[in-house]
Amino acid sequence: MAEKVLIIGSGPAGLTAAIYAARADLSPVMIEGMQRGGQLMLTTEVENYPGFPDGIMGPELMEGMRKQAERFGTRIVSSDVTKVDFSEQPFKAWVGADEYESDAVIVSTGASARWLGIPGEERLRGYGVSACATCDGFFFRDRNLAIVGGGDSAMEEALFLTKFASKVTIVHRRDEFRASKIMAQRAIDHPKIEVLWDTTVDEVLGDDLVTGIKVTSVKTGASSELPVEGLFLAIGHDPNTKIFQGQVDLDPAGYIVTDPGTTTTSVPGVFAAGDVVDHYYQQAVTAAGMGCRAAIDAEHWLDRVGP
Ligand code: NAP
């Protein structure tokens, strides 16, 4: 028999949806993925999640949400969904050869940080290369650091890194930032921040730890080495929607399209919440809020329309 609600993904959106769906007696199944808990599992302290005046560690927050979802009867499967079929009722999702059927589905697979794909980057990941300044900045006290990107994230993270680093070089491939003016100006004006305009990073240097990066001017083609002990990437995120291509409408950047003000996707009965929908706010609390809405939308849809 088909499940009532299947939730795919287990960040704040998926887990909040699970808590709400479970408390609504929908007995949800959550396929949490191999990287359970989403991006907050990669952070250290979360200081802006309401209700924790002294902050809380990201993994602890996610563990709490998971326990809360289980407490009300969410059944959790610790695997990745490999394929879905939303073309007819009941909807189907596969984990390898195991098939799940459900009347409603909530997609909350999140987004993943982009990487440059340059030599040395993968080898030195965790040894000076990071895509999360808020997670790893703390380890780089009094070091020279570089950060790649020209958006709000790059500005925010460069400013954050100045708390620890002796110097932060923002390497940007163009001659102007995409970031909001106020954020960009704050970064440009900061005494510890220098900007390398029109420059790409082509290689991360170092044997066991990062010792520098190879940079090239897009204007002159001249390459040089910049001695840094950390390279942070802030070049955006990609939504985790590969398995949903051709199943629900995606926008040109690959995010799931929802009707304004709802979590309804192009397929009635399939709902989406969190960073997989939202390329702008990308916050734990906004994702959790959307997860709550998705569960309520799914509940109402099952009541009113049903499969
Ligand atoms: P973003 O706005 O898409 O910016 C990504 C930046 O990375 C761009 O400057 C882009 O360069 C650069 N980039 C992308 N691929 C690259 C590559 N392969 N090599 C070199 N550079 C590359 O992403 P984001 O900064 O993560 O922001 C995402 C959204 O969240 C935005 O809407 C942003 O406003 C919002 N946000 C808001 C705040 C805030 O208000 N406090 C904080 C963080 C994020 P180009 O400019 O040349 O394309």
Taking only the tens place, the pLDDT of each residue in 233-273 is: 999 999 999 999 999 999 999 999 999 999 999 999 999 99
Q: Which residue has the higher pLDDT, 280 or 192?
A: 192
Smallest CA-to-CA distance from 73 within 36, 22, 7 is with 22
DSSP run (H or E) holding 237: strand 237-239
Residues with Cβ within 8 Å of 299's Cβ and at least 6 positions away in sequence, in order, are 20, 21, 24, 26
Is the shortest distance between the CB of 152 and ligand 1 below 6 Å?
Answer: yes
At 90 the pLDDT is 96
Is the shortest distance between the CB of 116 and ligand 1 below 6 Å?
Answer: yes
Q: What is the mean pLDDT of the chain?
A: 95
* Cα 282 to ligand 1 centre (Å): 12
Residue nearest atom 35 of ligand 1, based on CA coordinates: 280
At 106 the pLDDT is 98
Strand partners, 195: 170
Q: How many other CB atoms are found less than 10 A from the CB of residue 147?
A: 30
Helix, strand, or coil here: 104?
strand
Token pair for 160? 């954050």
Q: Count Cα neighbours of 86 within 13 Å in the Cβ-side half-sphere.
A: 19
Helix, strand, or coil here: 76?
strand
User: What predicted TM-score, i.e. pTM, was given to this entire model?
Assistant: 0.82
Question: Pick the catalytic residue: 80, 135, 198, 238?
Answer: 135
Phi, psi of 194 (to 5 degrees): -120, 150
Is the shortest distance between the CB of 149 and ligand 1 below 6 Å?
Answer: yes
* SS3 per residue for 12-26: HHHHHHHHHHHHCCC
Q: Residue 103 gets which letter from DSSP? A: E
Is the shortest distance between the CB of 238 and ligand 1 below 6 Å?
Answer: no
Q: Which residue has the higher pLDDT, 43 or 207?
A: 207
Is the shortest distance between the CB of 174 and ligand 1 below 6 Å?
Answer: yes
At 139 the pLDDT is 86
At 295 the pLDDT is 98
* Cα 155 to ligand 1 centre (Å): 9
Residue nearest atom 21 of ligand 1, based on CA coordinates: 149
Told to judge if 189 belongs to the known catalytic residues of this protein, a careful annotator would answer no
Smallest CA-to-CA distance from 68 within 101, 108, 21 is with 21
At 43 the pLDDT is 67
Question: Pick the catalytic residue: 25, 80, 98, 136?
Answer: 136
Told to judge if 292 belongs to the known catalytic residues of this protein, a careful annotator would answer no
Residue nearest atom 33 of ligand 1, based on CA coordinates: 152
Does the pLDDT value for residue 199 go beyond 90?
A: yes
Is the shortest distance between the CB of 29 and ligand 1 below 6 Å?
Answer: no
Residue nearest atom 14 of ligand 1, based on CA coordinates: 235
Residue nearest atom 38 of ligand 1, based on CA coordinates: 152
Does the pLDDT value for residue 215 go beyond 70?
A: yes
Helix, strand, or coil here: 216?
strand
Is the shortest distance between the CB of 282 and ligand 1 below 6 Å?
Answer: yes
| 28-80 confidence digits (pLDDT tens) | 999 999 889 998 886 667 888 999 999 999 899 999 999 999 999 999 999 99
Does the pLDDT value for residue 219 go beyond 80?
A: yes
Rounded to whole angstroms, how far apart are CA atoms 244 and 231? 32
Q: Residue 257 gets which letter from DSSP? A: P
Token pair for 159? 């400013």
